[in-house]
Structure 1
């Protein structure tokens, strides 16, 4: 009977994944909202009571499933971005200005804000830092409603980085690029929490963290990703042998091969694999930008991501009604809502408002667009991965209260951001883009 029920639930869930995106387009609902609700309904009714849902007992499984989900999402995000990046050109650097601001200013401020709020609530310093790092990344998995839709290929016009843009492109681009990069850049702060929990001398810990965990592993991840993406692009588009020129055959599974190769190589060399996957996808996308092969690769990654996200959200919903929130208290509620409604919006708005690129240029945001970009800091699957990873390094990081707080924050983000995304993006599409002072 249990096996029959599993098949029934799996089939119904796949059907939801297929029909939900188009069915919900006119409603203030998103697929993640519905999937979490369905999971909660299943958890409260028909499923067996002995399902393995305890985060502490299933930490390794949670870590690996969420890791794969984030990796697939990062590959899709990197392939979807049409805007090239050339650090040698000032126009290109300005076109990416919102992304750098969100990463270099908003993200550390958000981590510090959550850590200070946690310390005020009585958390140990290492736990407070970890909570800030875990909840910092804008999730590439659950933020699809406010991100770019996919790669333009043959229809992509030659444009200059300073050319006028469509109304909502800048918001979607900023959130998409941020989600692609900050999932890897949250890792140094997770390691900082691990180092602090280890009780090392403050000076030694700081030097080790700055030199290796912040700089060294980041550089290795980016370099490996760029190298793998460049080699695979050369083979796929310009190899002398037709057997290696897979772009001509339109074989989309190269996206999965690129994902696994870049991630494995970066991790083997000690770098950040998340950054490597995103850098690999961006580098590959920069080759033959108008080739339809990019769209074919993105489509297969997008479908894989949808299936993985479906599974994670259903299990999260079931866990919510099977004890995940039992340890939640006023501290967790305060931190979760404080991040979603106050800390992230304020930190990001401040980062985007200091000496901004004029609206109407690439990288420029109007006041309304800055507000929308600051508000949509969606929390999701990446937070579950980081907590599971940290709990495998330090036993104290596996406490039920942390799982309850992170689970509550994700659900709050899904509800708040999901309900607002459609309305806000439609409002932005109808507003003229004038220079904001």
Structure 2
């Protein structure tokens, strides 16, 4: 027997060691220059690129262009958990006026972004109309996973500055609200630009029904889970003894049942987080549940970003100058100007409006939407769209990730903002 067979280098174990080292380094190295929570997302992508490109014996990560389903599933889990945790962070729903910037970001900035990116994709990159609409929809939502530095803090921490509140609530809700436009892109790709044939059905099903059902299912599921955790049975509530895994199981139940009745699960889990936070609002379990959800989310996100780095050189092989120009325009022109204009005549100061407008971070949600669309049907421009999305996530993770902490450090207190 060959003794060397017992000590062969297994590519799986090489990958485990390399990924583990990448995650540690991405979170550790920034500590040499800043005591803030390290902006690890960009480094995770870069280390993923490096170890899979230069370390011998690494296994091949599935290409999302040919194996989109596994990317869809992992990204979906990341977004589900992140949206729920984001809902849990909101200590106070306060008045409707506090939601004014969020409503404008969702109702004005997001459609402006979709339209502008679609026009750029069609006119500048030569995409089909369906592909251009899909690109706009995929790139529109800001990311609840990678935007921790600009969001409000954990439950019961307080200090929910209007800028952090707007960015947090926007990220919590616009992932689900992007879905109708993803379906619109798929419809146009399959049936052509003929709204007379499918427009009414799209509005009725993909806009009104699915958004409404997602909201109602999230509210009902959040209330029911709140009762299970905090109220029934009163003498032995789960919140007193159980770990957060039971609550996360309830979130998965809420998401799955919402999708089964053709609602938007992303909206449901965000609403569920908001509703559960209103049940026994001072209970310490809210903080434990949030921390547990964030730990799971961070673990999944780290693996997904390292994997994205591994495949990014392949994806960027299809990136053109026009595609890169679309990314630059989105991150530094379309989102900032669209956000600035949408937030005019709000209580936010000029500086705070710019912070909200600039920090529309792109990330895991875009991976999910594109993988979801790619798994549903084959369409023109798919490689080009993957290249653009991959490049956008890389640039956003690096630029936004390393500057977000500096940007929000200069914010005044919430009380000063309200007086202003």
Match of 2:241 in 1: 249
User: Does the 8 A contact of 2:83 with 2:266 survive in 1?
Assistant: yes
Could you tell me whether the CA contact under 8 Å between 1:30 and 1:418 is conserved in 2? yes
Q: Matches of 2:137 and 2:67 in 1, distance apart? A: 21
Report the Cα distance in structure 2 between the residues aligned to 1:298 and 1:193, rounded to whole angstroms.
Answer: 35
Distance in 1 separating the partners of 2:350 and 2:167? 16
> Which residue is equivalent to 2:121?
118
Partner in structure 1 of residue 144 of structure 2: 140
Partner of 1:140, secondary structure, is coil
Match of 2:6 in 1: none
**Alignment partner for residue 342 of structure 2, among 344, 351, 356?**
351
Shift of 1:238: 1.5
- Structure 2 CA distance for partners of 1:375 and 1:29, relative to 1, 3 Å: same
Counterparts of 1:129-278 in structure 2, within 5 Å, are 129-152=133-156, 169-199=161-191, 201-240=194-233, 242-243=235-236, 245-278=237-270
Q: Contact conserved, 2:146 with 2:361, CA < 8 A, in 1?
A: yes
- Give the Å deviation of 1:371: 0.6
Aligned pair partner of 1:55 in 64, 67, 77: 64
Hey, what does 1:95 align to over in structure 2? 98
How far did 1:16 drift? 4.1
Find 1:46's aligned residue among 38, 44, 55: 55
How far apart in 2 are the matches of 1:343 and 1:327? Answer: 23
Equivalent position of 2:87 in the other structure: 78
Q: Provide the rounded CA distance (Å) in 1 between the counterparts of 2:61 and 2:239.
A: 43
Superposition deviation, residue 240 in structure 1: 3.2
Give the Cα–Cα distance (whole angstroms) in 1 for the partners of residues 334 and 315 of structure 2. 24
Q: Give the paired residue count.
A: 408
Deviation at 1:434, TM superposition (A): 7.8
Q: Return the alpha-carbon distance in structure 2 between the equivalents of residues 252 and 49 of structure 1.
A: 35
The match for 1:325 among 316, 319, 330 is 316
Secondary structure at the residue paired with 1:395? coil
Rounded to whole Å, the distance in 2 between the matches of 1:314 and 1:24 is: 22
The answer to which of 49-58 and 307-316 deviates more is 49-58
- When structure 1 is superposed on structure 2, of 205-214 and 365-374 the one drifting more is 205-214
Equivalent residues of 2:144, 2:168 under 8 A apart: yes
Query: How many Å apart are 1:20 and its aligned residue?
Result: 6.1
Question: Among residues 271, 282, 293, which one is paired with 1:279 in the alignment?
Answer: 271
Counterpart-to-counterpart distance in 2, 1:26 and 1:248:
34
Q: 404, 407, 411: which is aligned to 1:424?
A: 407
Q: For structure 1, which segment, 117-126 or 133-142, has the greater mean C-alpha deviation from structure 2 after superposition?
A: 117-126
C-alpha contact (below 8 Å) 1:229/1:283 kept by paired residues: yes
Q: Which runs of 4+ in 1 moved over 3 A?
A: 13-29, 47-50, 240-243, 429-436
Q: How does 1:278-427 map to 2 (within 5 A)?
A: 278-321=270-313, 323-353=314-344, 355-356=345-346, 364-396=347-379, 399-427=382-410
CA contact (8 A) 2:37 2:149 kept: no
Distance 1:78 1:202 in 2: 35
TM-score (norm 1): 0.88
Residues in 1 aligned to 2:366 and 2:150: alpha-carbon distance in whole angstroms: 19
> d(CA) in 2 for partners of 1:428 and 1:226?
32
How far did residue 26 of structure 1 move? Answer: 4.0
- Conserved? CA contact 2:128–2:381, under 8 Å: no
Deviations 1:101-140 (A, max 9, x none): 1000110011001011112122111011000000000000
Pairing 1:65–2:56 present: no
Distance between the aligned counterparts of 2:75 and 2:396, measured in 1? Answer: 17
SS class of match (2:66)? coil
Structure 1: where are the runs of 5+ without partners? 86-91, 157-165, 357-363
The answer (yes or no) to whether the contact 1:118–1:335 under 8 Å persists in 2 is yes
State the alpha-carbon separation in 2 of the partners of residues 223 and 47 from structure 1.
51
Match of 2:3 in 1: none
Deviations 1:339-360 (A, max 9, x none): 000001111111111x32xxxx
Inter-partner Cα distance in structure 1 for 2:37 and 2:231: 46
Q: Which residue of 89, 107, 111 corresponds with 1:104?
A: 107
> In the superposition, relative to structure 1, how do residues 297 and 112 fare at CA in structure 2: closer, same or farther (>3 Å)?
same
Which position in structure 2 is the counterpart of 1:33?
A: 42
Please state how far the C-alpha of 1:3 moved relative to its aligned partner: 3.0
Unaligned 5+ segments in structure 2 are 1-8
Describe the SS at the equivalent of 1:198: helix
1:19-75: per-residue Cα shift (whole Å, max 9, x none)? 468566348961112211211211221154760332222211111111111111111
